[in-house]
Amino acid sequence: MRTMTAMAAALLLLAAAQAQARADPACYPRVFSFGDSLADTGNLLYLYGNDSYEAATRLPYGETYFHRATGRFSNGRLIVDFIAEALGLPFVPPYLSGRSAEDFAGGANFAVGGATALSPDFFWENGVPAFRADTVHLDMEMGWFRDLLGLLCPGDVADCMDMVSKSLFLVGEIGGNDYNLPLFYGVPFEKIHTFTPSIIAKISSTIAELVELGAKTLLVPGNLPIGCIPAYLTTNFLWMSWKICESFIMVW
């Protein structure tokens, strides 16, 4: 239900932006986006290059619109691209692609494919060792945002509050990968359920931090019902079957 509500909100925002764009100047002069692969417009490409193991760095990703791989996990545009387009803005550039304030005149995208809400430390402490030390997470994306504010408003970040208040913020989707990797590595559902309060708290604190910096309009999409995906259900079933089998072998 929450996911459907978030999707409906995004569609309403997109429709409103399209109607506004036809008549008046853009209602939001900038878009700032945080998240993972569902929102990444190319940061992954700048982080890891074309030699990345990620399929989004090579064709057929991007073939139907850009006619080349752009680091987007799509064969064309993402929701953030459509929102920017409807607002009459250029596609939101990946943060890692810019160098000057002019590069971010229409906003910036901090999302990275594979990003998590929580840092790798959380998962290591909870017995999920497979997380890479360089995994991008929300605290890192917020750090990039603060660095960008320093670029846009040199001398005093407080001077940016007016600009921030007039911008549209997309916070997510984020948090899916906090479940994805543990699920793929066979962490039991019961254990993964205990991560949820921490994930929600991190997203909530990020929203609160943005509001404190002046943000007034934030769209926070819900997560997908990934726990119902057959691949995850199968993975956990096989893992649990092996553990049961292993217990019988030990007893025998």
Higher pLDDT, 160 or 237: 160
Residue pair 72/42 in contact (Cβ under 8 Å)? The answer is: yes
Backbone dihedral angles phi then psi of residue 108, each to the nearest 5 degrees: -155, 150
Candidates 212, 119, 199; CA nearest to 161 is 212
Whole-angstrom Cα distance, residue 13 to residue 18? 9
Percent of the chain exceeding pLDDT 70 equals 79
Taking all residues of the chain, what is their mean pLDDT, rounded to a whole number? 83
Answer whether residue 80 shows pLDDT above 80: yes
Residues 55-69 as b/e (b if ≥16 CB within 10 A, e otherwise) read ebbeeebbeeebeeb
User: Strands across the sheet with 31-34, in order?
Assistant: 107-109, 31-34, 168-171, 217-219
For the segment 187-198, the average pLDDT, to the nearest whole number, is: 89
Answer whether residue 9 shows pLDDT above 60: no
Residue 16: its pLDDT value, please?
Answer: 52
Answer whether residue 117 shows pLDDT above 90: yes
For the segment 21-33, the average pLDDT, to the nearest whole number, is: 75
Answer whether residue 194 shows pLDDT above 90: yes
111 Cβ partners below 8 Å, 6+ apart? 33, 34, 35, 36, 37, 38, 39, 40, 41, 43, 80, 141, 174
For the segment 145-171, the average pLDDT, to the nearest whole number, is: 89
Residue 198: its pLDDT value, please?
Answer: 97
Q: What is the pLDDT of residues 124-155, one digit of tens each?
A: 999 898 888 889 999 999 999 999 999 998 87
Answer whether residue 4 shows pLDDT above 60: no
Bridge partners (DSSP) listed for residue 33: 109, 170
Backbone dihedral angles phi then psi of residue 76, each to the nearest 5 degrees: -150, -125
Residue 17 CB coordination number (10 Å): 22
Q: What is the pLDDT of residues 29-70, one digit of tens each?
A: 999 999 999 999 999 988 887 655 678 888 899 999 999 989
Cis? peptide before 60, omega within 30° of 0: yes
Percent of the chain exceeding pLDDT 90 equals 54
Residue 223: its pLDDT value, please?
Answer: 85
Residue pair 35/108 in contact (Cβ under 8 Å)? The answer is: no
Answer whether residue 119 shows pLDDT above 50: yes
Residues 184-196 as b/e (b if ≥16 CB within 10 A, e otherwise) read eeebeeeebeebe
Answer whether residue 244 shows pLDDT above 90: no
Answer whether residue 240 shows pLDDT above 80: no
Whole-angstrom Cα distance, residue 166 to residue 128? 40
Residue 37: its pLDDT value, please?
Answer: 93
The alpha carbon torsion through 190, 193, 195, 197 (nearest 10 deg) reads: -140
Residue 105: its pLDDT value, please?
Answer: 92
What's 227's DSSP letter? G
Q: Give whichever of 53-62, 152-161, 163-172, 187-196 has the largest mean pLDDT.
A: 163-172
223 Cβ partners below 8 Å, 6+ apart? 2, 3, 172, 173, 175, 176, 179
Whole-angstrom Cα distance, residue 186 to residue 110? 30
pTM of the model: 0.82
